[in-house]
Amino acid sequence: MSSKKKPSPKSSSTKDELASMEEESKVGMPSKEESRISDPESRIKLALALAALGLALIGQFYFSFMRDNIVDGVGFFVVAIVVFIFLIRRSKEPSSVGKKVASATHQILEQIRSHPIKSVLAALSFGLAYTTVRLLRAKAGPGSYWDVFILWVVSFMVYAAAFVRIPRIDLKAWFRTNRYEVVTVSVLTLIAGLLRFVALGKVPNIISGDEGVLGTLAVQALNGELNNMMSTIYGNSSVFLFIMAGVMKLFGINTTTLRFLSALSGTLTVPVIYLLARRLFNARVALIAASIITVSHFHLHFSRVIVATSIQDALFATLTFYLFLSGLELRSSTRLALSGLIIGFELYIYMGARLVIVFLPIYVIALWITNRDLVKDNLGNLMIFVGALLVISAPMMLWAIDHTDEFMARANQLGVIQSGWLSNEAAATGKSQLSIFLDLFRQAFLTVNYYPSYAFHFSKLPMLDFVTGAVFILGLAYSLYHVRDHRHLLLNGWFWSGVLVGGAMVVIPNKSAYRIMMVLPAVSLFSAVAWDKLMEYGSRALPENQIVRIGSTALFIALISFLNLKAYFVDYAPACDYEGANTRLASYIGSYIGDLGPDYEPYLLTAPREIYGVYRSIDFLSSNRPLQDIKEPLTGPPTFIAAHRQAVFFFTPQREGELGYVRDQFPGGKVDRIFDCEELLMVVYVTPDG
Q: Examine the domain organization and report whether 127 and 178 are in the same domain.
A: no
Range 411-420 average pLDDT:
86
Q: Examine the domain organization and report whether 46 and 133 are in the same domain.
A: yes
| Residue 288 neighbours by CB under 8 Å, 6+ apart | 277, 527, 528, 531, 532, 553, 556, 557
Q: Is 276 a member of any domain?
A: yes
pLDDT over 60 (residue 8): no
Q: pLDDT of 327-339, one tens digit each? A: 999 999 999 999 9
Q: Examine the domain organization and report whether 420 and 291 are in the same domain.
A: yes
Amino acid 39: pLDDT: 64
Q: Quote the CA–CA distance of 191 and 287 in Å, as a whole number.
A: 13
The proportion of the chain whose per-residue pLDDT surpasses 70, expressed as a percent, equals 90
Q: Examine the domain organization and report whether 606 and 508 are in the same domain.
A: no
| Residue 28 neighbours by CB under 8 Å, 6+ apart | 114, 115, 380
Q: Examine the domain organization and report whether 112 and 209 are in the same domain.
A: no
Q: Examine the domain organization and report whether 127 and 216 are in the same domain.
A: no
Amino acid 543: pLDDT: 76
Q: Name which residue leads in pLDDT, 310 or 673.
A: 673
Q: pLDDT of 97-130, one tens digit each? A: 444 444 444 444 454 556 788 888 999 999 999 9
Amino acid 93: pLDDT: 52
Amino acid 75: pLDDT: 84
Q: Examine the domain organization and report whether 446 and 531 are in the same domain.
A: yes
Q: Is 79 a member of any domain?
A: yes
- The total number of structural domains that make up the chain: 3
Amino acid 344: pLDDT: 95
Q: Is 1 a member of any domain?
A: no
Q: pLDDT of 577-599, one tens digit each? A: 999 999 999 999 999 999 998 88
Indicate the SS3 state at residue 676: strand
Q: Name which residue leads in pLDDT, 687 or 80.
A: 687
Range 428-439 average pLDDT:
94
Amino acid 112: pLDDT: 55
Mean pLDDT of the chain: 88
Q: Name which residue leads in pLDDT, 321 or 641.
A: 321
pLDDT over 90 (residue 684): yes
Phi-psi region for residue 607, left (φ > 0), alpha (ψ -120 to 50) or beta?
beta
| Residue 100 neighbours by CB under 8 Å, 6+ apart | none
Confidence of residue 160 (pLDDT cuts 50, 70, 90): very high
Q: Quote the CA–CA distance of 210 and 456 in Å, as a whole number.
A: 9
Q: Do 292 and 526 form a contact (C-beta atoms < 8 A)?
A: no
Of the residues 146, 163, 180, which one is the last residue of a structural domain?
Answer: 163
Q: Is 2 a member of any domain?
A: no
Amino acid 26: pLDDT: 43
Q: Quote the CA–CA distance of 143 and 65 in Å, as a whole number.
A: 14
Q: Examine the domain organization and report whether 310 and 430 are in the same domain.
A: yes
Q: pLDDT of 567-576, one tens digit each? A: 999 999 999 9
Range 655-675 average pLDDT:
95
Q: pLDDT of 238-274, one tens digit each? A: 999 999 999 999 999 999 999 999 999 999 999 999 9
Q: Examine the domain organization and report whether 189 and 218 are in the same domain.
A: yes
Q: Is 7 a member of any domain?
A: no
Amino acid 652: pLDDT: 96
Of the residues 575, 600, 621, which one is the last residue of a structural domain?
Answer: 575
Q: pLDDT of 28-73, one tens digit each? A: 344 444 444 456 777 777 888 888 888 888 878 877 777 777 888 7
Q: Is 17 a member of any domain?
A: no
Which helix (H) or strand (E) element contains residue 351? none
**Whole domain around residue 539: which residue ranges?**
171-575
Indicate the SS3 state at residue 459: coil
Amino acid 470: pLDDT: 95
Amino acid 92: pLDDT: 64
Q: Examine the domain organization and report whether 71 and 192 are in the same domain.
A: no
Of the residues 139, 163, 187, which one is the last residue of a structural domain?
Answer: 163
Which helix (H) or strand (E) element contains residue 648? strand 647-651
Amino acid 331: pLDDT: 94
CA distances 87 to 41, 60, 100, 404, 614, Å, are 11, 20, 15, 44, 65
Q: Is 625 a member of any domain?
A: yes
Q: Examine the domain organization and report whether 567 and 662 are in the same domain.
A: no
Q: Is 22 a member of any domain?
A: no
Nearest by Cα to 591 from 96, 264, 254: 254
Q: pLDDT of 262-305, one tens digit each? A: 999 999 999 999 999 999 999 999 999 999 999 999 999 999 99
Please measure the distance between the N-terminal and C-terminal CA atoms of the chain and give it in whole angstroms.
83
Q: What is the DSSP string of 88-110?
A: HHHHS---HHHHHHHHHTHHHHH
Amino acid 79: pLDDT: 85
Nearest by Cα to 499 from 518, 473, 483, 482: 518
- In eight-state DSSP terms, residue 14 is G
Q: Examine the domain organization and report whether 329 and 464 are in the same domain.
A: yes
